[in-house]
Amino acid sequence: AQTVTQSQPEMSVQEAETVTLSCTYDTSESDYYLFWYKQPPSRQMILVIRQEAYKQQNATENRFSVNFQKAAKSFSLKISDSQLGDAAMYFCAYRGDFGNEKLTFGTGTRLTIIP
Amino acid sequence: KAGVTQTPRYLIKTRGQQVTLSCSPISGHRSVSWYQQTPGQGLQFLFEYFSETQRNKGNFPGRFSGRQFSNSRSEMNVSTLELGDSALYLCASSVPTSANTGELFFGEGSRLTVL
């Protein structure tokens, strides 16, 4: 069974600074997806960024980027130029290949932005 | 395009009662998944439906059940409610094809309180 571990229950960062959230996972599959989801206090889970395991290039979405280390089974999220609206719970999630829609989530990291 | 819609948003039940939660996926999405979110256990996968068939099931007792209709709308039912069933129940939809992005789209959730 796949597992996802987020070792940082809480993180804080000054507005406009950079923060990195950590995530490790365990799987025996070779093809899979990794995601970072954000859950603001309003509760709706929103996709931040995705990474396909077969792609060596790290995904980037504006101020959000990942450091994907497949051999180390590590998938960290870097948020640059942090903004107040980035405050939320961040969940790292794993999904197997096509045909398996199940997401396995980490326990989450609560990110606080300090003005 | 309308997002994933869950009803009701909030509900209060007493132990021993049953509850039915509804989820309308994004138009064109044929896969619907359900997750339970609690402070203690985090986000846990309940089950996934595709074309009215349950394809995947999490490790929950038989009191938790679900179904999917021909229009892809889904319901989940919890019978003989226990205090521990108090949680946020999240529904997610996706396009389970080989061309999809792997992303699941989440609703705002149904907050169940069992007294």
* Predicted pLDDT of residue B40: 87
Indicate if the pLDDT at residue A25 is higher than 90: yes
Query: Cβ neighbours of residue B53 under 8 Å, at least 6 residues apart?
Result: B68
Return the closest-CA partner of residue A46 out of A107, A105, A89. Answer: A89
Identify the closest residue of chain B to A108 by CA–CA distance: B42
Is residue A66 over pLDDT 60?
yes
Whole-number pLDDT of residue B86: 97
pLDDT at A114: 97
Tell which residue, B54, B60, B1, has the closest CA to residue B25.
B1
Give the pairing of strands A88-96 and A32-39: antiparallel
Instruction: List B residues 77-96 in contact with A (Cβ-Cβ < 8 A).
Output: 88, 90, 92, 94, 96
Are residues A91 and B43, on separate chains, in Cβ contact within 8 Å? yes
Task: Test A98 with B103 for CB contact under 8 angstroms.
Answer: no
Kindly state the average pLDDT of the residues A30-41: 92
- The owner of tokens 């039940």 is B13
Q: Using CB atoms within 10 Å of the CB of residue A105, give its burial: 0 to 12 exposed, 13 to 18 middle, 19+ buried.
A: buried
Report the pLDDT value the prediction gives residue A45, as an integer from 0 to 100: 93
Q: Give tens-digit pLDDT for B60-115.
A: 999 999 999 999 999 999 999 999 999 999 999 988 654 566 788 999 999 999 99
Residue B86 CB-density burial (10 A; 0-12 exposed, 13-18 middle, 19+ buried): middle
Contact A2, A25 (CB under 8 A): yes
CB contact under 8 A, B92 and A103: yes
pLDDT average, residue stretch A4-29: 96
What span, in angstroms and rounded, lies between the C-alpha atoms of A5 and B34? 21
Tell me the average pLDDT across B51-57: 91
Dist. CA A48–CA A63, nearest whole Å: 10
pLDDT digits (tens, 9 = 90+) for A67-86: 999 999 999 999 999 999 99
**Best residue in B6, B9, B43 for a mutation probing chain A (most A CBs within 10 Å):** B43
* pLDDT above 90 (res B21): yes
Chain A: nearest CA to B48, how far in angstroms? 7
- How many angstroms separate the CA atoms of B21 and A73, rounded? 36
| Residues constituting chain B | 115
For residues A49-55, give the mean pLDDT.
91
Report chain B residues whose CB lies below 8 A from the CB of A95: 102, 104
pLDDT at residue B45, rounded to an integer: 95
Q: What is the mean pLDDT of residues B25-33?
A: 92
Of B55, B101, B106, the CB nearest to A44: B106
Residue A3 pLDDT class (50, 70, 90 cuts):
very high
Would an 8 Å CB–CB cutoff place A100 in contact with chain B? yes
Provide the b/e sequence for A26-48 (b: ≥16 CB within 10 Å): ebeeeebbbbbbbbeeebbbebb
Encode pLDDT of A94-113 as tens digits: 998 766 678 999 999 999 99
Share of chain B above pLDDT 70, in %: 94
